[in-house]
Amino acid sequence: MNATQSLHELGQSLWLDNITRELLRSGTLARYVRELSVTGLTSNPTIFEHAIGHGDSYDARIHVLADAGLSGEDLFFELALEDLTEAADLFRPTFDATRGVDGYVSLEVSPMLADNAAHTIQAANRLHRQADKPNLFIKIPGTPQGLEAIEQVIFDGVPVNVTLLFSRAQVLAAAEACLRGLERRLEAGLDLKVASVLSLFVSRWDVAVKQEVASPFHNRLGIAIAMRTYKAHCDLLLSKRWQRLVAAGARPQRLLWASTGTKDPAAPDTLYVQALAAPGTINTLPEKTLLAFADHGRVERPLPPDGGYAEAVIEEFRREGVDDDALAARLQLEGVDAFATSWHALLTRIREKCAAPAGQR
């Protein structure tokens, strides 16, 4: 049994944080499902910008869609849904076997909608209808306007992956939005089996503070923030409010560790995967990190549900001058901006491919 299978046995889901047409069509993703216990997949604008913008595997299809009158965002979402619905079918047996707990793929709404709740609601419902797959999450950022949209989208029956969360407070605010959406469904007599996951970004904390703290503090803050957040989420799931919904048919919400590739070349390449082993959670891994963990990772003690040493570590960083609340807000804004930059680059590459002369297609 390799390390990825051991994590699966522990009760943690491993999702691949990548998608390309080549990954699907070559059978590589199917092999990861068989051999590495991969049970889901996530995508974002940066992943698609790299997949579509580098290489020519999408070029022919781009021109077919352009000739059919599609352009810009409409053309991109058609391409993305072709990939993600194919991936959703691959994970459908897992979805069915787990009764809708696992086996999901994720598609993000346009990052240009991060500050527009009404348009996010419209886009989320439209994309979910267009995909017509029960195991497709719509990713919505946990910005203030995003949270407003999330409550309504959950009420509308659309599964949601709340993205760009960086702190306990942001995760609990997102959980609250999901709870309100489910409670409204309960009051309306609607089915409560509308899944949601909360994606906490981890490694970006350590990148952000690396130049501000001495080397003994490197690569410690992200894990402490995750441990603190895990405790809060475990407590929430045990609350009377959440248990009332579970008793009425709701699925327990899951916490997802995002940004778990090691950014520091001096740190172990499996750092965040080994540190964040926890039953009932999800770790979405870059392909390189997945392969590294399968090769030489180790499953050690799972995260303590009581938060362990998290608060002591965070307090050490505060004494070093790190304001974790302010940094969480900054990281979320930077995350929205980074995805917007990738979005513009993606649409530019699609326009360039559409305009390429026939001999260069």
Token representation of residue 180 = 């309100």
Comparing CA positions, the residue from 316, 289, 344 lying closest to residue 73 is: 344
**Residue 257, beta-bridge partner list:** 200, 283
Q: Is 288 among the residues known to form the active site? A: no
**Residue 256, beta-bridge partner list:** 199, 282
Q: What is the DSSP string of 107-132?
A: EEPPGGGTT-HHHHHHHHHHHHHHH-
Comparing CA positions, the residue from 174, 89, 175, 159 lying closest to residue 127 is: 159
In the set 133, 139, 231, 353, the catalytic residue is 139
Spatial contact of 37 and 14, defined as CB atoms under 8 Å apart: yes
Spatial contact of 361 and 63, defined as CB atoms under 8 Å apart: yes
Residue 350: CA atoms inside 13 Å, Cβ hemisphere, count?
26
Token representation of residue 300 = 């050690």
- Burial readout 9-25 (b: 16 or more C-beta within 10 A, e: otherwise): eeebbbbbbbbbbebbe
Using CA atoms, how far apart are residues 308 and 128, in angstroms rounded to an integer? Answer: 39
| Three-state secondary-structure class, residue 249 | coil
Tokens 């974002």 found at: 44
Residues with a catalytic annotation lie at 139
